Structure 1
Amino acid sequence: MADESALRTVDVARESGYSVQQVRDLERLGVIPAATRSGNGYRAYAPVHVRALRAYRGLAGAVGPVAARQLMADLWTRTVTEAAAAISAVHVGLARERDEVLRAQQALWAIESEATAHHGAVETEAARQGAAEGADTMTITELAAALGVRTSTLRFWEREGLVAPERVTSLRARRYDASAIGAARIVAALRGSGYGIPAVRDIIDSLHSLHSLQEGGGPERVRHILAERLDRIAARSVELLRAGADLAAVLDSLTPARAPAPA
């Protein structure tokens, strides 16, 4: 007797909002587990397949389709504890992105403050806070870790004239002062917003031009970019939250966490 609770491919497509072909493709990619086969050879899905596809849609909005496919395929091989940790890491990653953009905004305020000081202007409280944050120098390893990039990326930015570290000790080790750290934060935010190296170089150059500052071109442009990036991060966070209930259903279908062996 056929399982009346089983869903056909067309049922899953209708409930998930994907096409029949997309459902098959996502099954092939491991986003959803393989369907069982009925006696006549047709695919038979369960409600968890629909929840998994909805979860994938939210994850794709939060981290992009490639990362979402990798994460969903990985979840099916994990215990509940491991899968929950992987999903929590996505939330942490978005929070880190948001924090870095906020630090880039503070760095921008500090750069503007330094420039306006040359014109006899008084620093704003926000600018003073931005200048104070990270006032200590950083090594290339420390700065790379703070920005979530590789040390080779910082060296590349240096070669491209985007960030200028100080060099100290007989080994010519790189150290970054507050100004360089601020510039690196802005570069990281601009690159994260999809700007190419030439465009980033133009923007960074404009930030250090007092004439540009008087016209409001460089800083105003960066302010707009950073605000847009914060908006996009917020939208991605909402997509992740929207996927929450469906992700929970996926986790409920996984193997329970393994109990530790008795001592």
Structure 2
Amino acid sequence: MITLRPSDLARGHGLSTQAVRNYERDGFIPPAERTPSGYRIYTEVHAAALRAYLALVAAYGHARAGRIMNELHDGALDAALDLIDRGHHQLIRDRETLDAVRKAIGHLTAETDTGRAPGPTARSVGEVAHYLGVTRATLRKWETAGILTPRRDPATGYRVYRAPDIRDAELAHLLRRGGYGLSHIATVVEQIRTAGGTGALATALAEWRRKLVTQGVMMLDAAGMLGHYLRITDVLPDGAGRSASAPPPQSVE
């Protein structure tokens, strides 16, 4: 078995030796064996684990990547796969939201608030928060930033979100997930509210689509790296991880 010094493993992945030690300490790669004098000895298993972790970071972020590797090293394969599945589900949700907004872009400037009494499409702040999966405090923060401008019910004083307000909230939610700051989102929403103001939205959506495509490809890369690591550590159930078209291993008589 090929052995590697900490410096070899670090150099091969553009990291510092201390970073590799930290990843071992945090459970992102398995513990290293030690020489009689106390020096760490890494192997191709550690290199595969490190490649898998770094690929997961690129695809899912540091927090989720670390949790995935921790679950694997704790023997909780199902829990690790659940974290990965949830990441894919979020990507699907983002794609669906993006597609919905892109389809609606031609109608955004035509949508105006009629100012009539709340109809069936009017929602309370709690209903909008639940619909988007955010907190009420988040909606109030967006309102303070000028992104949302819900009116108040004259009788109760409560915020009332009509169709244009809900649209603005959906767009804010999407763009926040794309990494845009509140000031930028406020500018986009304000342009949408004015005639011919969809240009900024089109640019933002094109950039967000590029990010989603990049993330999807990174997820594919991470899946390959992680699958390789699982196979060489022999933690997969019998029959898992084998290509359906590949012949079964031949018995030796």
TM-score bracket, shorter-length normalisation: 0.7 to 0.9
1:93 corresponds to which of 83, 90, 95: 90
Map of 2:217 onto structure 1: 238
Q: TM-score, normalised by structure 2?
A: 0.75
TM-aligned CA deviation for residue 19 of structure 1: 4.2
Task: Confirm or deny that 1:110 pairs with 2:107.
Answer: yes
Task: Confirm or deny that 1:157 pairs with 2:142.
Answer: yes
2:207 corresponds to which of 228, 245, 259: 228
Which ranges of structure 2 fall in alignment gaps of 5 or more residues? 113-119, 238-253
Q: TM-score, normalised by structure 1?
A: 0.72
**Structure 1's 32 and 20: CA in aligned 2 closer, same or farther, altered over 3 A?**
same
TM-aligned CA deviation for residue 60 of structure 1: 1.8
Task: Confirm or deny that 1:198 pairs with 2:183.
Answer: yes
Map of 2:168 onto structure 1: 183
2:65 corresponds to which of 65, 68, 90: 68
**1:111 corresponds to which letter in structure 2?**
L
Residue range with higher mean Cα deviation, 195-204 or 69-78: 69-78
Tell me if the contact between 1:9 and 1:43 (Cα under 8 Å) persists in the aligned partners.
Answer: yes
Residue range with higher mean Cα deviation, 226-235 or 9-18: 9-18
Root mean square deviation, CA, Å: 3.1
Residue range with higher mean Cα deviation, 153-162 or 223-232: 153-162
Q: d(CA) in 1 for partners of 2:129 and 2:123?
A: 9
Q: d(CA) in 2 for partners of 1:80 and 1:32?
A: 15
Q: d(CA) in 2 for partners of 1:172 and 1:191?
A: 28
Tell me if the contact between 2:68 and 2:80 (Cα under 8 Å) persists in the aligned partners.
Answer: no
Map of 1:49 onto structure 2: 46
1:34-60 deviation line (CA, Å, top 9, x unaligned) = 212122322122333222211222222
TM-aligned CA deviation for residue 22 of structure 1: 2.9
Q: d(CA) in 1 for partners of 2:107 and 2:235?
A: 51
Aligned residues: 229
Q: d(CA) in 1 for partners of 2:93 and 2:226?
A: 21
Q: d(CA) in 1 for partners of 2:155 and 2:234?
A: 56
TM-aligned CA deviation for residue 111 of structure 1: 1.2
Q: d(CA) in 1 for partners of 2:90 and 2:229?
A: 21
Map of 1:83 onto structure 2: 80
Which ranges of structure 1 fall in alignment gaps of 5 or more residues? 116-134, 258-263
> Whose helix proportion is higher, 1 or 2?
1
**Structure 1's 104 and 140: CA in aligned 2 closer, same or farther, altered over 3 A?**
farther
**2:205 corresponds to which letter in structure 1?**
L
**Structure 1's 149 and 7: CA in aligned 2 closer, same or farther, altered over 3 A?**
same
Q: d(CA) in 1 for partners of 2:152 and 2:236?
A: 52
Q: d(CA) in 2 for partners of 1:172 and 1:9?
A: 64
1:69-106 deviation line (CA, Å, top 9, x unaligned) = 34433442351111111111111122222222233334
**1:73 corresponds to which letter in structure 2?**
N
Higher RCO (CA < 8 A, seq sep 6+): 1
Query: SS at the partner of 1:44?
Result: strand
**1:247 corresponds to which letter in structure 2?**
L
